[in-house]
Amino acid sequence: DVKVTQSSRYLVKRTGEKVFLECVQDMDHENMFWYRQDPGLGLRLIYFSYDVKMKEKGDIPEGYSVSREKKERFSLILESASTNQTSMYLCASSLAPKYSGRVSTDTQYFGPGTRLTVL
């Protein structure tokens, strides 16, 4: 079974603090993703990585950065936390794409989430 773990389930930080969210997967997946989930807005992709030291911006990268030094670990960094970054953060991983007809993505497996509150 794929296992994706996140460092904290709940986190409370103050405005301006630097925040690190860690994600680890144990299935040797190439791709890793960070999303945030907000009521009424669904899941929005912040950043993803398709290889060690490689990263791509998602739909809402502003205010965030990422680090992937090892294949199994993908970190999300809030350089200076703000109250509008209060959210549920979800990490996911997937294998490299396998092309089956027109499908070019592979199933993403999610961690349990980190609920971050910025005061």
Partner 1 sequence: SQELEQSPQSLIVQEGKNLTINCTSSKTLYGLYWYKQKYGEGLIFLMMLQKGGEEKSHEKITAKLDEKKQQSSLHITASQPSHAGIYLCGADAGGYQKVTFGTGTKLQVIP
The contact set with partner 1 (CB under 8 A) reads 4, 31, 33, 40-43, 45, 48, 50, 56, 58, 88, 90, 92, 94, 97, 100-113, 115
Size of the chain in residues: 119
Count of beta carbons in the 10 Å neighbourhood of residue 70? 10
For the bound state, the minimum distance from the C-beta of residue 105 to partner 1, rounded and expressed in Å, comes to: 5
Report in angstroms how near the CB of residue 112 gets to partner 1 at its nearest.
4
Nearer to partner 1, 12 or 80 (CB): 12
Alpha-carbon distances of 25 from 94, 114, 117, rounded to whole Å: 10, 15, 24
* Least distance (Å) between residue 103 CB and partner 1: 4
- Pair 114, 11: CB distance under 8 Å: yes
Return the closest-CA partner of residue 56 out of 74, 43, 73, 81.
74
Return the number of the residue (31 or 75) whose C-beta is nearest partner 1.
Answer: 31
Choose between 80 and 117: whose C-beta lies nearer to partner 1.
117
The token pair that represents 77 in the structure block: 């960094």
DSSP 27: S
State the nearest-atom distance from the C-beta of 115 to partner 1, in Å: 7
